[in-house]
Amino acid sequence: MFRRAVRFSDIAVSITGERIFGKHAGGTKRPSHVEIAQLAYYFYETRGRRDGQDVDDWLAAESELARRYR
């Protein structure tokens, strides 16, 4: 299976909300699976790639992006 490399610019856009607010103003959309996965992976990398917190990373990413969509 081919997996697209996560680019920092993708994460930055997700974190800052530039694309999100421009595209989904009004709060009717939810973060995509890909956006959540990218941000969760960013959290994992910034923590030094220590395993064992994947669920926490996912939930934190989901929560952060959901806030940005509102």
pLDDT single digits (tens) 20-59:
444 544 555 789 999 999 999 999 999 999 999 999 999 9
Dist. CA 56–CA 36, nearest whole Å? 12
pTM for the whole thing?
0.60
Least confident of 16-20, 30-34, 63-67: 16-20
Number of domains in the chain: 1
* CA–CA distances in Å: residue 28 to residues 8, 16, 59, 65: 26, 18, 20, 13
Nearest alpha-carbon partner for 41 in 60, 20, 19, 25: 60
In a domain, residue 3? The reply is no
Dist. CA 19–CA 40, nearest whole Å? 18
Maximum CA extent, the chain: 37
| Boundaries of domain holding 53 | 8-69
In a domain, residue 1? The reply is no
In a domain, residue 58? The reply is yes
